Structure 1
Amino acid sequence: MENHRIFTTSFASVYPHYINKVERKGRTKAELHEIIFWLTGYNEDTFQLLLDDKTDFNTFFKKAPQLNPNVSKITGVICGYRVEEIENPLMQKIRYLDKLVDELAKGKSMDKILRS
């Protein structure tokens, strides 16, 4: 898993899929941004620059201002793996994001998604 294809995939190429997933389930792009910003510390301006630059997932997480200190509270299974047991730090961060997007799409309240 050290050189997984997702690491060099543009975040901007996956982002529309996140939007579609949550909007199909009645959630909003604003809510999606809230969970992305909560996880990474980005804001609207810095996030838009990363999208415009077609930044890959590796760089997206390397440049993240600050991973949320409550990230360890994200637990459960995503893509057949327990997120808390994923050994590769970059893959774990990607799966944290996937887990949050899934929770949003499944209708969880924002308080629970943001572990507050």
Structure 2
Amino acid sequence: MECVIEERMAGDAELTELLTAAFAELVGRYGAEGRSLVKAGARYFVVLDDEGRAVGCDAHAARSAGYPVLRLSTGQLQPEAIALYESGGYVRTAPWDKYVDQPGVRCYAKSL
């Protein structure tokens, strides 16, 4: 599986569609403040294919690129994400950086 990370310009149709779906999901779970959870910067969004399977980057691609650890975060009101990460071998860790003082954030890591 190839891991593709693409930078998209503001206004890109596929990016706009993905962000619209992300905002709707977060607002549905967290209320109006959910929209503020998606901000500029690196984010990992999982897109579903036509059969409903998650599409994303795999650990092999990250390891091949020289990354020793994968770290990610999610919110406590996102049980699907929590289940996906834990079933994939991610271990809950203490919050880091900007997540230290944010209630409801769950941070995970996986050694490669």
Q: TM-score, normalised by structure 1?
A: 0.28
Q: TM-score, normalised by structure 2?
A: 0.28
Give the number of the structure with larger relative contact order, counting CA–CA contacts within 8 Å between residues 6 or more apart. 1
Larger radius of gyration: 2
Higher helix share: 1
Higher strand share: 2
